[in-house]
Structure 1
Amino acid sequence: MTEFNPHRRKPKIIVSDIDYKRLAGLAAAAQARLPEVADVLQSELERAQVVATDCVPSDVVRMGSAVEFRSDNGQQRCVTLVFPGEENISQGRISVLTPIGAALIGLSPGQSITWTTRDGRQHELTVMRVEQPEPLHAAHAS
C-alpha cells in the first residue's frame, strides 16, 4: 500500500480561463451544500496556472475530458469529468464536485495526486491517459 505524506507537494496543474471562471463560481455556490469538496476544488483552482483555453495542452484534464487513471489499490478506471447534473456513474461520468473529480482537474499523464474520500480515507491516483472530447459545433457553444 502507498505510504501517504501530507507534506508532499501537489503536482503543477493547468486550467483554462473559461473552466476557471465556471469552476470558481461552482465552488462558491456549493460551499453551503458540500463545503469539503467545494474547499478542495477552490484550493485546486488557487494553485492552478490559468491560461487561455487555446493554450491548454491537449493532454491536460479539463471539463469534458476522458481520463484513464490508476489508483493506489491497483484499479484502473476511465471516467469523463463533467459538471454537476451531467454525472452518471454507470456511464463513467463523474462530477467535478466529487473528491476524485476535484482532484483530477488540471492533471496530465504521469502526474499523481492524493485525494480524500468523503469518509476521510486518503488515496492516490496517477493519470495514465487523457482524451479531449470532439470540438462542439458553434451552435452548441455559449
Structure 2
Amino acid sequence: MTSQTSGGAKPRITLTAVDHEKLTQLANAATNTFPDVAAELSDEVARARVLAKGKQLADTVRMGSEVVYHDEVTGKKTTVTLVFPPDADIAQGKISILTPIGTALIGLSISQSINWTTRGGDVKRLTVQAVRDPVEHETQLA
C-alpha cells in the first residue's frame, strides 16, 4: 500500500525519539532567524508519530538519511542527505532540515508523496523513492 496524498493533505510521518527531541529544539531556536521554516518544522514535528526511544523504521527519512526522491513537477530524480544546518553543503548534496524541502522530507517513507512550497512560493510535489540509513546515528547540533 502506498501512502500518496492528493491536494494539500499531508501524509503520515514517523520520527525517532532522538530526531523528535532535536528537531523540536532546533525549531524553537530558529524561530527568530528562520520564522517560516521554523514554523513549518514545528508543525511537522507536532504531527509526527514518535517511535519509542531506541526504535527506528527502515525506509523512513530521518536525520542523516540519504534520500532519493522524484520531483513530480520536473520529472527529475535527486539524491540528497538530510542534515542539521552546520553540516549543510549543497555541492555535496547535503541539505539542511531548515530548508523547505528538508522539512518536507523528514519522516516520509518510500512511496510517500508530499506537496511543498519553495522559498520563491512555487508549489512542488515530490515522492520518496529510496532511503538509506544514516551512517552516524547521533548527529550533533553545533
TM-score, normalised with respect to structure 1: 0.88
Counterpart contact for 2:13–2:48, Cα < 8 Å: yes
* Structure 1 segments of 4+ aligned residues over 6 angstroms from their partners: none
2:96: which partner in 1?
A: 95
The reply on whether 1:62 has 2:62 as its aligned counterpart is yes
State the distance in 2 between where 1:66 and 1:98 align. 16
Counterpart contact for 2:15–2:107, Cα < 8 Å: yes
State the distance in 2 between where 1:55 and 1:12 align. 17
State the distance in 2 between where 1:80 and 1:111 align. 17
| 1:135 Cα deviation from its structure 2 partner | 5.2
Structure 2, unmatched stretches of 5+, are: 1-5
2:3: which partner in 1?
A: none
Aligned length: 134
Structure 1, unmatched stretches of 5+, are: none
State the distance in 2 between where 1:97 and 1:49 align. 20
- For residues 2-13 of structure 1, the aligned pairs below 5 Å read 5=7, 8-13=8-13
CA RMSD of aligned residues (A): 1.9
Larger radius of gyration: 1
Tell me the amino acid that sits aligned with residue 68 of structure 1: V
Distance 1:53 1:69, change over 3 A: farther
Counterpart contact for 2:110–2:128, Cα < 8 Å: yes
What secondary structure is seen at the aligned counterpart in 2 of 1:55?
A: coil
| 1:9 Cα deviation from its structure 2 partner | 1.9
Identity %: 46
| 1:19 Cα deviation from its structure 2 partner | 0.6
State the distance in 2 between where 1:86 and 1:42 align. 20
State the distance in 2 between where 1:22 and 1:77 align. 26
| 1:53 Cα deviation from its structure 2 partner | 4.6
